[in-house]
Amino acid sequence: MFGIRLMFLLAVMGGVIAFIADKLGSKIGKKRLTIFGLRPHKTSVLLTVLSGVLISLFSVGILAVSSESARTALFGMEKLQKELTRLNAEKVTAEAEYTKAMESLKQKNEAIADLDRKIKEVNAAKTEAERHLESANTSLSEVRGQYQATQGALITARNEVESLTAAKDKLNEEIGELKTETEELQKGLAVMRGGQMLYRSGEVVFAGILQGGLAAEENEKQMKWLLESANGAAINRVGLKPDSKAELVWAPRDEYDKIVELLQKAKGNVLVRVRCLANTVLGQPVLCGMEVLPNKLVFKNGTKIHQKVLDMDDKNVTPDQAFMLFLKEVNQKSVKEGVLPDPMTGKVGNMNAITMVETVNRMQKMGGRILLKAFADGDITTAGPVQLRLDLEKTSAKP
């Protein structure tokens, strides 16, 4: 639309200029005007040429004013050509760089593909390594288990070696003690041949319950009572009068002081046993040592210590034998629970012979299967003795 208006404007402008030039030429021709001393005819031609020039100039001017492209084409063509030449050069350079970049991209793509392949190989190697690691860990766990088992066995073996070494040392010590005892027995035998045996080595002369935690003066009184009681027991064994002033029992002073110190630290009652240190014949002093043991309550009064089914119809065992076996089991259980036995006999108490006979007679009269129960007749402590209350009843249970 803009081009049509421009063409119309140029046509009108050219017509106007031509019309003006024609009028000027006619007027100059009629009046025979001259310019620059030219002839009228030449002047008319000159005006016609000038009008053509004006038409061209005005046309170019209007084009230049009305269109940026026309101005560029008229006045900036050389600059455009230089710019075009530069752009073409840059295009060539850019195409070369593009070609180079594409070549580099191709190489990088190949490198990336090679890296992807290597990554896949590494991942595969990693998976295989993880599998081997898992297998190695499993093997390591098994080896550790075996190692721990071996360590346990080694520790057990070491403990056994230590135990055997200790047992060996103890045996050597016992051998030495036995040698010493043999020598003493040989000496004692020589003495025994000429005198009556009063106490055997290890035999309890007297046992008493002392109270711990008292003042030093009270402890001295208790120890004096203990030794006087032990001496009274020895006097009674010899057959002297109870008011005899004889001092038969002797005890080391350091052991005496040690017991006094233990009494001061002890809490509650303790059992102190005065035991003969060597075989002693009549006429010799009784050399004694002392041992301190906690006197704990083992059986409360009425506690059932043992029970057993006895078959009176069993021809292989007599009632007396069955009853004595029952008492032996009571003795063993009492010792196991903490009652101290007599070092010489291993017994924890004595039963009246009349009670034993009466019990056996009752068992024989009842006949068949009998449930025999033994109860504590009073509180029984570590010191003993074990006093029993027996109970008999018929039963259908098997022995």
User: What pLDDT shows up at residue 96?
Assistant: 87
Which amino acid is residue 8, in one-letter code? F
Query: What b/e readout covers 173-186, taking b as 16+ CB neighbours within 10 angstroms?
Result: eeeeeeeeeeeeee
Which residues lie across from 274 on neighbouring strands? Answer: 206, 290
Dihedral angle at the C-alpha atoms of 47, 48, 53, 56, nearest 10 degrees? 140
Which amino acid is residue 198, in one-letter code? L
Beta-strand relationship, 249-250 and 286-294: parallel
Which amino acid is residue 204, in one-letter code? V
Distance of alpha carbon 58 from alpha carbon 176, whole angstroms: 152
Instruction: Map residue 274 onto helix, strand or coil.
Output: strand
Task: Phi first, then psi: give them for residue 54, nearest 5 degrees.
Answer: -65, -45
Q: What is the pLDDT along the chain (399 residues), one digit of tens a residue?
A: 555 665 666 677 677 777 776 676 676 666 665 666 667 667 767 767 777 777 777 776 776 666 666 666 556 667 777 888 888 888 888 888 888 888 888 888 888 888 888 888 888 888 888 888 888 788 788 878 887 887 777 788 788 778 778 877 877 887 777 666 556 545 544 444 445 777 887 788 788 888 888 888 888 888 888 888 888 888 888 777 777 777 788 888 888 888 888 888 877 788 888 888 888 777 778 888 888 777 788 888 888 888 888 888 888 888 888 888 888 888 888 888 888 787 777 777 777 778 888 888 888 888 888 888 889 888 888 777 888 888 888 888 776
User: What pLDDT shows up at residue 160?
Assistant: 79
Is the whole model's pTM more than 0.75, yes or no?
Answer: no
Domain assignments of the chain as residue spans, ordered by start: 2-75, 197-295, 298-394
On the CB side of 82, how many CA atoms lie within 13 Å of its CA? 3
Distance of alpha carbon 108 from alpha carbon 102, whole angstroms: 9
User: What pLDDT shows up at residue 353?
Assistant: 75
